[in-house]
Structure 1
Amino acid sequence: MSSRSGKNQTTLSSPTTTRMDKEIDTFLKKLSFGAIAIASLTLLSLFLHTPDTCIPTHAPPHPHLRFPKSTCDYPPTRPHLPLHKKNHRLWSSRAWNTTVHSFSLILLPLRHLGLLRNHSRALCVSAGAGHEVAALSLLGVEDVTGVELLDSPPLVSRADPHNLPFFDEAFDLAFTARFDEALFPARFAAEMERVVRPGGACYVLVGECGISEVMEVVRLFRNSKLVSSDKVTLSGMRMTSILMRTRQSTS
């Protein structure tokens, strides 16, 4: 009797269990649909809502205690300055004029040696912002060209110092204050020599060093001979100047 009654209970409970499973499944589906709807509305609201911080209002009472909530909280960028105004601001600064004056003192001895005249064609390689270009112009040189990987008009044009876009023997003087920074020093030196006429000058500045290091640099300039090497100061930084003259053609 007991086994028969157990079978009857199992048989009777099956429809109830099935009905409960269906109700749970329906409830979960409704819950999922509701969650999806809420999430969709939330995302839509975020996309359509403009942050309050983007709307210019009165200044906050304690700006030093207010952290930015978005990029709109940051102050506006500086207005775009025309190139001539940027250059005027740069060229009138004390740092600029100090560096230009320092370059002038380093380049001035070339005049005494007859290697630099007003009509000389001078090239400044890896000229940065153009301090050396300005210095040569200040010394009276009328034809000065500056090149760098990034241009700084009007003093410096864009060009690769390892592949100069000039004809052979186009200049009387090639100068660089950044020979130490050359990625390929031998190629850098060869290009400087290539664009300088026979009897012209290659003038480089390197970090302060001894005669052995100087000769290592000179050997990279295979078509030039050493004229002089001196200790110089560029804007308070101790450096070594190396002056070379390209050899005259034997033909």
Structure 2
Amino acid sequence: MVGPDFSERLANLLSADGGRLAEAWVERVSTSLRNRMSTVELDRELRELYDALVEALRRGAGGVHDENFSEVRALLTEISRNRARQGFTPGETAVSVFALKEVLEPRLTSGSSADIGAYLRLSRLLDEFGLFTMETYSQTREEIISAQAEQLLELSTPVVKIWDGVIAVPLVGTLDSARTQVVMEKLLQALVDTGSEQAIIDITGVPAVDTQVAQHLLKTIVAARLMGAECTVSGIRPQIAQTIVALGIEFGDIVTKASLADALRHALGRTGASVVAKAGERR
């Protein structure tokens, strides 16, 4: 909390030599960031923040959530989000605020006791700004990670049209609830887009099949059946077959094949197409 008297005193002290102090702030932050950011951009950001801080203090702001600090909060939010997107660490982001304390300390603590008191009030205020900055940074990082996770899910679950009326979903990695939902949505949409009646779910790249994975597969197959499509599960290796039997998992009337080639041959046969081996080749 910065009282009105201290607030006005701080505004006067900061504006008296504002140009030099802001320049020193930019230099200190630039050094901390190891010049990984354009000096011109950094100068613009911090000078805008410095001017907004002085103006808020001049109006007698009481704290970081004070209405008079709305512009300061907006600028801090922009800086925090930019740092998060640019890949800076939390410490490198926080230094944009805390470096101002280092710059102001020799200027404000060498004068009267009133100046020292004003600096201590400002120091606590900047601590609040630092906390606000870190909260915004963390929120932005979580948003980025969540968006990247969704993109990875999309990339890791391709639906491929391999023949007229036949599509395939090659799965690689662990199959959990979130990924199952993506697989189901993409599979059903592909059935509509291609008009296919045969779908192959290949689990050759799935490291292990347990009860949960089996349930996820069954949900996807049931959803496809409701769309009028028949699903074939391929990639049933000996180890996976033994696990399925040991767990007592029942696939019922769902067609399963050892390899994608076998599943494709079955799916083509269901569409009325015939597979003819060349002379000298095994079918």
Normalised to the residue count of structure 1, the TM-score between the two structures is 0.30
Q: Of the two, which has the highest radius of gyration?
A: 1
Task: Report the structure, 1 or 2, having the larger strand content.
Answer: 1
Normalised to the residue count of structure 2, the TM-score between the two structures is 0.28
